[in-house]
Amino acid sequence: MNQIPALIRVFAYLSILTVGGGMAAFPEMEELTVKVHHWLEFHQLIHLYSVGQLAPGPNMMMIVAIGDWAGGILGAVVVLIAFFGPTALLALIIGRLWNRLHAQVRGRAVAQSSTPR
């Protein structure tokens, strides 16, 4: 059975949960990867999470190993994109909206300060 669509759904969903940090998604990751889809056993998930905590860089890179175990190399790549893509897109959209709002507020402030009293 092809696990790629399930990997995309699960890790795109977990991506949104990790806005609060990687540990915020751990209980749901355990539920989905261990209990629902049986991609890992709990001790394997704990091992991967521990290695992620010890390794330099983002601790949630351990999700690539889950993708590899569930769907091979393609699974690893898909999980990486599905996990980091939605939050990167969300950050891009919010950053652009923030810049637009900031420019409008700054423009109003300049207009108000240049009018004679």
List the domain boundaries for the chain.
4-84
Q: 60-69 long-range contacts, Cβ below 8 Å, gap at least 24? A: 60/18, 60/22, 63/11, 63/14, 66/33, 66/39, 66/40, 67/7, 67/11, 69/39, 69/40, 69/44
pLDDT per position as a tens digit, 45-88: 999 988 888 888 778 889 999 999 999 999 999 999 999 999 89
Residue 1 three-state SS: coil
pLDDT per position as a tens digit, 1-52: 589 999 999 999 999 888 767 778 889 999 999 999 999 999 999 999 888 8
pLDDT reading at 111 higher than 60: no
- Are 107 and 38 spatial neighbours (Cβ–Cβ below 8 Å)? no
Give the residue from 12, 7, 22 showing the smallest Cα distance to 68: 7
Residue range 102-114: average pLDDT? 67
